[in-house]
Amino acid sequence: MPADTLQADSTKAAIAVLGAGSWGTALAILLCRNGHRVRLWGHEIEQIDALRRDGENRLFLPGVPLPDSLSATASLDEALAGASDCLIVVPSHAFRRVAEQIARQLPAAIGVAWATKGLDPASGELLHAVAQESLGTRALAVVSGPSFAQEVAHGLPTAVTVASADAAFAERIAWLLHGERFRAYTSSDMIGVEVCGAAKNVLAIATGIADGLGFGANTRAALITRGLAELIRVGTALGGRKETFMGLAGIGDLVLTCTDNQSRNRRMGLALAAGASLADAQAKIGQEVEGVVTALAMYRLASRLGIEMPISEQVYRVLYEGVSPEGATRALLEREPKAEFG
Residues 6+ apart with CB under 8 A from 164: 113, 139, 140, 141, 142, 170, 173, 186, 187, 188, 190
Q: Is the Cβ–Cβ distance between 159 and 248 less than 8 Å?
A: yes
Catalytic site residue from 12, 200, 284, 338: 200
**Does 200 appear as a known binding residue?**
yes
**Does 22 appear as a known binding residue?**
yes
In whole angstroms, what is the distance from residue 183 CA to residue 260 CA? 21
**Does 19 appear as a known binding residue?**
yes
**Does 253 appear as a known binding residue?**
yes
- Give the helix ranges, DSSP H, for the chain: 3-10, 22-33, 45-54, 76-80, 92-103, 127-135, 149-153, 167-177, 190-212, 216-237, 253-259, 264-273, 278-285, 290-305, 310-320, 325-333
**Does 117 appear as a known binding residue?**
yes
**Does 149 appear as a known binding residue?**
yes
Using CA atoms of 200, 204, 210, 216 in order, give the dihedral in degrees to the nearest 10.
90
Indicate the pairing of strand 158-163 with strand 140-144.
antiparallel
**Does 43 appear as a known binding residue?**
yes
- Half-sphere exposure of 317 toward its Cβ, with a 13 Å CA cutoff? 16
**Does 145 appear as a known binding residue?**
yes
Using CA atoms of 176, 178, 181, 186 in order, give the dihedral in degrees to the nearest 10.
140
**Does 263 appear as a known binding residue?**
yes
**Does 201 appear as a known binding residue?**
no
The yes-or-no answer on residue 200 being catalytic is yes
**Does 304 appear as a known binding residue?**
no
DSSP labels, 130-167:
HHHHHH-SS-EEEEESS--HHHHHTT--EEEEEE-SSH
In whole angstroms, what is the distance from residue 256 CA to residue 71 CA? 31
- Residue ranges for the known binding site for NAD(+) are 19-24, 149, 264
Binding site listing for NADPH: 22-23, 43, 117, 149, 264, 290
Annotated binding site: 19-24, 43, 117, 145, 147, 149, 200, 253, 263-265, 290
User: Which are the catalytic amino acids?
Assistant: 200
